[in-house]
């Protein structure tokens, strides 16, 4: 770390920016957009970058935004990422800056992610002369199940700057932690997420005569229970899996046994080996239970995001930067991964880096009952924007030391 690098000054500057960051975040929060096409959000981010003297670049097939900060000294490139899309929820927070768009809400903190990264851009542009190397800024749409990061990579994001990124970093807001506290770990940070769809096919008939039919509803119920037993009895607890069946659909009315029953859910795993093994067991369990009753199972498992794996060296280094920037108490090394999923995993498959999360729970909320991410009542503590912006900037300013 160069002697001229001043962590305290960085945090002080981030705190001075906080009123502007709060105003920006509220503006973004009021105009959420869902999916891969976010024209209003793309324009808002691009305007912020242009105001700082940067030239935004846009995706060809999705409304992504990227830009490069050129440092005043030679060095490597680090990628900093924020996601931009919202969720299809109707906001019920009562906030004065609540969503103005019906059926859309920033309920996963992506408005705070954009704001923290744009705050970091202000800090970095002001320190451009002491920045060694380059910073590739990645603002992506479609994180909420639309594979936005993968689209940006396929469009050549990593090759858009020379040298290509040798490190990557992202932050994610969560209300399960105190505001401004960073949580991270080496290795798996977030799970892979795959979608399970099973159609149980029986034989319909009159509900008063089940023996003359083949009731797929009862068989589907057995499949659900058997899948839970399979997880608890065949999956190593130290390489866990979660199967949740969250959608069950069958029948039309009380006196008709339907032909089919449909169940749908999610599979979460923390290693590619276990991911493949559990998928095979889902097929075996569903098909076997159905066969035992004379029914059939049509099993489809749709691949979602892969495991988000933090590079061990980068994560250890980034935790040190967080402690130096924000203080020892503001960096918590988590023992366990989070079973949620993130498409930053695609970036980390190609670039060593890490994704940490930052606590954003309002201090007046009870940790046991505070609405969580993806709730239409979730509220994020805005004071966390300043430490988040400072950490993004610190990672970029110090990255050359990791590569030295």
Q: Which residues are known to be catalytic?
A: 305, 382
Residue 302 pairs in a beta bridge with 195
Q: State the greatest distance between any 2 C-alpha atoms of the chain, in Å, as a whole number.
A: 83
CB-hemisphere CA count at 13 Å for 151? 22
Neighbours of 383 (CB within 10 A): 16
Contact 13, 126 (CB under 8 A): yes
Q: Which residues lie closer than 8 Å to 95 by C-beta, 6 or more apart?
A: 29, 379
337 neighbors 268 (Cβ within 8 angstroms): no
Cα 78 to Cα 158, 318, 396, distances in angstroms: 10, 12, 6
Partnered with residue 206 across adjacent β-strands are 256
Structure tokens belonging to residue 152? 């940006």
Cα separation of 214 and 123, whole Å? Answer: 67
Listed residue (359, 318, 310, 358) closest to 337, CA to CA: 310
């Amino acid at each position: 770390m160069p002697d001229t690098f001043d962590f305290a000054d960085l945090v002080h500057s981030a705190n001075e920016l906080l009123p502007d960051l709060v105003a920006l975040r509220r503006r973004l929060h009021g105009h959420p957009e869902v999916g891969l096409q976010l024209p209003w959000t793309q324009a808002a981010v691009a305007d912020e970058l242009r105001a700082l003297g940067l030239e935004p670049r846009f995706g060809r097939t999705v409304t992504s935004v990227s830009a490069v900060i050129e440092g005043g000294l030679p060095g490597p490139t680090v990628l900093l990422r924020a996601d931009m899309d919202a969720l299809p929820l109707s906001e019920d927070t009562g906030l004065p800056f609540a969503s103005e768009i019906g059926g859309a809400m920033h309920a996963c903190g992506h408005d705070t992610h954009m704001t923290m990264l744009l705050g970091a851009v202000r800090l970095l542009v002001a320190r451009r002369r002491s920045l060694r190397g380059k910073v590739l800024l990645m603002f992506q749409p479609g994180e909420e199940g639309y594979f936005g990061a993968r689209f940006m990579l396929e469009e050549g994001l990593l090759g858009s700057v020379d040298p290509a990124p040798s490190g990557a970093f992202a932050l994610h807001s969560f209300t399960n932690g105190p505001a401004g506290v960073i949580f991270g770990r080496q290795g798996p940070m977030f799970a892979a997420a795959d979608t399970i769809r099973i159609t149980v096919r029986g034989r319909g008939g009159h509900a008063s005569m089940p023996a003359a039919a083949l009731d797929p509803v009862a068989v589907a119920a057995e499949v659900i229970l058997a899948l839970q037993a399979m997880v608890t009895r065949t999956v190593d607890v130290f390489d866990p899996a979660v199967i949740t069946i969250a959608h069950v659909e069958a029948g039309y009315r009380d006196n008709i046994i339907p032909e089919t029953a449909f169940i749908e859910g999610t599979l979460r795993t923390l290693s590619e080996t276990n991911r493949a093994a559990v998928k095979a067991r889902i097929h075996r369990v569903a098909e076997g239970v159905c066969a035992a009753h004379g029914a059939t199972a049509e099993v489809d498992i749709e691949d979602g995001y892969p495991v988000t794996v933090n590079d061990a060296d980068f994560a250890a280094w980034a935790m040190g930067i967080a402690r130096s920037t924000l203080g020892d108490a503001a960096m918590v090394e988590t023992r366990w991964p989070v079973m949620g999923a993130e498409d930053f995993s695609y970036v980390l498959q190609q670039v060593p880096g890490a994704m940490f999360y930052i606590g954003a729970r309002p201090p007046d909320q009870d940790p046991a009952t505070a609405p969580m991410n993806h709730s239409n009542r979730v509220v994020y503590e805005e004071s966390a924007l300043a430490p988040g912006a400072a950490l993004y900037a610190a990672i970029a300013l110090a990255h050359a030391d990791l590569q030295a």
